[in-house]
Structure 1
Amino acid sequence: MTSILLFLAGLIGFGAWWLAKQRITAKPWLEEGIAGEFPGGGATSLPAAKIGLGVFLAVVGALFALFISAYSMRMGMSDWRSVPMPRLLWPNTGMLIMSSVALQWALVSVRRDDMDVVRACLLAAGAFSVAFLAGQLLVWRQLSETGYLLTGNPANSFFYLITGLHGLHMLGGLVALGRATDRSWRSDAPSRVALSVELCALYWHFLLLVWLVLLNLLTGWADEFVDICRALLT
């Protein structure tokens, strides 16, 4: 239940942050001045790519919410045997956090017209992401070598399914990141890569949020953190 609430709260917060950045919640009829002079009041609309990504993330978020709900309900049955979590999951999480940070730094740098930093950050984000995926494969290998196979137990199947689904979305993101990186090396104009960098950063932040919720679902780290906070407050 904690994972579901955490995931829903994260999605709501992520959506509110995204809407605020796009000024979708603005009220142009309350603005003063000549029409078209205030931000968001011109003829240009939200780029189709942003709208498409927003719709896609909503669908992906709903998909993961269904898997989280199914996992939470299934684990209460008698045939459930928990999977021991390899310690490698924590360094992998660090790699994903670093990739998200690198893309945010790239977004800040592209707004400052610093293309050298943008290129370096895009390359770093790609390297951290590949390291994360390689680490996930090593986790799978460790579990299979210790007898936790895909069909051995429902808990095993869910672990491979949800981590594999997250990894597939990472692979798809790497394709877009590769194109953005290639474009940054072909042009010195920040305007040509600004939208691509922003979309990649948004996508990586979303995948990081999903992964943190999945990690809590698998390891219960957030539950332990809440218990510690409660103990400190009482």
Structure 2
Amino acid sequence: MERELKYVDMVEQPISMHPKKFALWLFMVTVVMVFAALTSAYIVRQSEGNWLEYDLPEIFYFTSGLVIVSSFFLQWGYYSAKKDNLKSLRIAISLSVLFGIAFLVGQWYSWVALVDREVFFVGNPAGSFLYVFTGLHAMHLISGVIFLIIVLISTFRYKVHSQSMNTMEMATTYWHFLGGLWLYLFMFLLLNH
């Protein structure tokens, strides 16, 4: 009995992602690599000695809470957008922006507290690393706040709703990433300080 072989071309659906989302993920990977390199350098440099010992500003606990609450509000906004509840969406994004700005103000006051403790950007690598960590994170957070403001404006133009979630998904992903990054940095500093 002769068997007949049949070749069936299985057409697989390619994995696709919106190009802007892909670019955002690539950007977040590079940010992770930068902070991984910085935290590694921190550990290596700390083991060499000549390391200034000081207490972290207490305001870091407060700012950590702010970033968590901000992420909560943005997630509420995301769910509101999926349900086409534009009023809740606008309120949620507005609150998330306000808490994000409050976080940045808190970071400024953490620098003031560091100066009061005579921990400066120059003079000892311990202080330098802390300023670089918080400053670099603040720069990314400023970009996140700007992104959220753009999304908020888009909600008033009816460009964010259940049928148009790309921008909202990207903003939510980026904001949660920034919040997680801050919590990682804070825990790293608490454990390695």
Which category describes the TM-score, using the shorter chain as reference length? 0.7 to 0.9
Change (3 A) 1:189 1:55: closer
- The answer on 1:57 being equivalent to 2:28 is yes
**Considering only CA atoms, is the larger Rg found in Structure 1 or Structure 2?**
2
Change (3 A) 1:217 1:116: same
Distance 1:86 1:201 in 2: 28
Distance 1:58 1:44 in 2: 19
8 Å CA contact 1:92–1:136 kept in 2: the answer is yes
Please point out which of 124, 128, 131 is paired with 2:102.
131
Change (3 A) 1:188 1:47: closer
Give the aligned partner of residue 145 of structure 1: 116
Kindly state the Cα deviation for residue 86 of structure 1 after the two structures are TM-superposed: 1.2
Change (3 A) 1:188 1:81: closer
User: What is the aligned residue count?
Assistant: 184
Letter of the 1:154 partner, please give it.
Answer: P
TM-score with structure 2 length normalisation?
A: 0.88
Distance 1:165 1:177 in 2: 19
Give the aligned partner of residue 90 of structure 1: 61
Change (3 A) 1:188 1:82: same
Give the aligned partner of residue 180 of structure 2: 209
- 1:26-77 CA distances to partner (integer Å, 9 max, x unpaired)? xxx6xxxxx99xxxx5x99421111110111111111110001001111112
TM-score with structure 1 length normalisation?
A: 0.73
Give the aligned partner of residue 80 of structure 1: 51
Quick one: percent identity of the two aligned structures? 31
Aligned Cα root-mean-square deviation (Å): 2.2
8 Å CA contact 2:70–2:97 kept in 1: the answer is yes
Change (3 A) 1:176 1:163: same
Give the aligned partner of residue 41 of structure 2: 70
Query: Which blocks of at least 5 consecutive residues in structure 2 are unaligned?
Result: 1-9
Give the aligned partner of residue 118 of structure 1: 89
Query: Which blocks of at least 5 consecutive residues in structure 1 are unaligned?
Result: 1-28, 30-34, 224-234
